[in-house]
Amino acid sequence: MTATSTARPAAPVRPHRPAATELRLSAFGPHRGAVLPLGPLTFFAGPSGSGKTTVLKAYEALTRLASGEELAEVFTDPAACVPEGAVADGQGRRGFRIGCTVDGPLGPVHLDLAVQAEPDLRVVSERLTHEGQELLTTALRDPRQPRVQAAWYTAGAVPVTRAPLPDDRMATALLPLRVAGRTEGELLVLAAAEQVLVALRSVFACDPQPQRMRAPAAAGEGLLRRGCDNLAAVLRRTGGECANRHHALVKALGAGCTGPVVDLTAEDLPDGAVRALIGRGPRGVTPVGRLGEGELRYLALALVLLTGPRVLDVEQEVGVPDAHRALTVLADGFDRAMDARQVRALTELAGEVCRRGHLRLTGTVADASPVRGADGVTVVDLVP
């Protein structure tokens, strides 16, 4: 696949907030040699089969590996990640390669992974680099052993430190447990790894499922799940936490729903569940479950944009203040089931939120026309 991008200038992310600014799909699914920019608000567009969803799958895979998950948990069908037509070598080995660039206090840090998918799933090499300096490299020396040989920059009496690491995890995620930080080189390695890990772990993959959002939710669930099926319970919590954010959500919902919207409340039911209601003024109330699919997806995505990480089911990086972290929302099918009016309104809301610098959004759209040219939006066109 090839890609082109168009963008209008956007306010840069503050340098103390690490964020992924580039995704590299050297060989992954339908993509070969793809270098894809990631701005504060980025949409991937293209016809069916152009690999839009695959891009977000690669991004999410990096985030899960950065959180310490094993390869087998992240890539349940690794053969599907191997580019079509890839020829196995003499030992029957085929694989894929992905990577990213994370900008932050250190400047750009590059992470690249080569994964063997067949005959066994394993990381065969990994590189973490900064300003041309290799901070971490791993290599599969003995295919009979379940480990790789790692070498990280020391810049002390010994230029590098070598040690075996497991071949089923991202080595960068293990560095904080293995590197002592006794030399300037090791401190640089740790700082680069932390920058990458903070950015990749601060990701919330969101895919609202309207058919599951219609039913009442169990009370007491304070974190919004990926499918947003517990939206009513989360609204019950957020409605009383911040009046300004609640007002902004009501206003946003009014721009994306048919009919008047004057309030958004949660009602406790006799069985202990909770359901969300839209206040219609003199017309009474409408249960959120009666909304159309597009309205439900619009509401869920607006809630995600306006709430922040402490309301979303996303890993919280211990010891990293919110002011030093930018949450990235991944939204595959951002415009799914919505009309152009709703997409434009939601894009304007996303642009407003992303300009503040504490939140980023990367999504896919089937039709880029409602988002193209919007303030701060980067559109990456994928061409088969």
- Read off the pLDDT of residues 358-378 as tens digits, 9 standing for 90 and up: 899 999 999 999 999 999 999
Instruction: Count CB atoms within 10 A of the CB of residue 218.
Output: 12
- Among residues 190, 166, 172, 193, the alpha carbon closest in space to that of 180 is found at 190
Taking all residues of the chain, what is their mean pLDDT, rounded to a whole number? 92
pLDDT at 353: 95
Evaluate if residue 216 carries a pLDDT over 80: yes
User: Where does the pLDDT of residue 309 fall: very low under 50, low under 70, confident under 90, or very high at 90 and above?
Assistant: confident
Evaluate if residue 297 carries a pLDDT over 90: yes
Which is higher by pLDDT, 20 or 3?
Answer: 20
Instruction: Count CB atoms within 10 A of the CB of residue 190.
Output: 18
Confirm if 119 and 136 have CB atoms less than 8 A apart.
no
Task: Give this prediction's pTM.
Answer: 0.92
Question: Taking residues 261-284, what's their average pLDDT?
Answer: 94
Evaluate if residue 7 carries a pLDDT over 60: no
pLDDT at 302: 97
Question: Taking residues 291-319, what's their average pLDDT?
Answer: 85
User: Where does the pLDDT of residue 13 fall: very low under 50, low under 70, confident under 90, or very high at 90 and above?
Assistant: very low
Exposure string of 232-264, with b = 16+ CB inside 10 Å and e = fewer, is: bbbbbbbbeeeeebbebbbebbebbbeeebeeb
pLDDT at 215: 92
Range of weakest confidence among 118-122, 153-157, 316-320, 353-357: 316-320
User: Where does the pLDDT of residue 85 fall: very low under 50, low under 70, confident under 90, or very high at 90 and above?
Assistant: confident
pLDDT at 314: 79
Percent of the chain predicted with pLDDT > 70: 93
pLDDT at 316: 59
Range of weakest confidence among 193-202, 238-247, 344-353, 356-365: 238-247
